[in-house]
């Protein structure tokens, strides 16, 4: 009985992590015209997915935003956008659910984080704690 439970849990985890449930319609968000770019980085693949494109931090009149530009992301469940102090998120700010696996997207960054410490933009499967991709912000 124990063996059946373990096998069932493994199969459910593997199947759940590949289930596609993030929208795939390309978005075309833009930042405010007066925004100034502060940081930027190009995405690299993580161990559980693939991400291409770039992440840029902009300062706008009403605060900071993270712009994902020309992204293409492998699909998965419960994908979130984080800014984090590490590549594998321990200390992070969750910017919300990924809105699409393609295109240009803008996410508000709450507060005024110290970008010398929050050096990574991440695409992360929150439910299973799986990293899909990261971009080091410089």
CATH number for position 68: 2.60.40
Average pLDDT over residues 3-12: 47
pLDDT at 24: 87
| pLDDT, greater one: 64 or 33 | 64
CA 11/CA 5 separation, integer angstroms = 10
Q: Does the structure show a pLDDT above 70 at 94? A: yes
Number of domains present in the structure of the chain: 1
Which residue bears the tokens 């998120």? Answer: 89
Share of the chain above pLDDT 70, in %: 86
**Stretch 97-107: mean pLDDT:** 97
Average pLDDT over residues 53-80: 96
pLDDT the model gives residue 20: 63
Average pLDDT over every residue of 11-26: 62
Query: pTM for the whole thing?
Result: 0.84
Q: Find the range with the poorest average confidence among 16-25, 61-70, 103-112, 118-127.
A: 16-25
What is the average per-residue pLDDT within 19-39? 88
CA 35 to chain centre: 21
Q: Which domain holds residue 41?
A: 2-136
Q: Does the pLDDT value for residue 37 go beyond 80?
A: yes
* Mean pLDDT of the residues in the chain: 89
Residue 69 to residue 71: CA distance in whole angstroms: 5
Q: What is d(CA 5, CA 85) in angstroms, rounded to the nearest whole number?
A: 36
């Amino acid at each position: 009985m124990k063996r059946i439970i373990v096998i069932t849990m493994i199969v459910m985890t593997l199947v759940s992590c590949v289930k596609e449930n993030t929208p795939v319609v390309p978005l075309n968000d833009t930042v405010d015209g007066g925004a100034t770019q502060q940081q930027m980085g190009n995405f690299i693949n993580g161990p559980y997915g693939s991400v291409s494109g770039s992440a840029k931090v902009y300062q706008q009149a009403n605060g900071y935003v993270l712009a994902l530009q020309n992204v293409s992301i492998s699909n998965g469940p419960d994908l979130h956008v984080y800014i984090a102090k590490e590549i594998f998120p321990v200390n992070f700010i969750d910017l919300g659910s990924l809105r699409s696996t393609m295109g240009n997207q803008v996410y508000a960054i709450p507060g005024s984080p110290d970008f010398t410490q929050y050096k990574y933009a991440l695409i992360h499967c929150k439910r299973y704690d799986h990293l899909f991709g990261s971009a080091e912000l410089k």
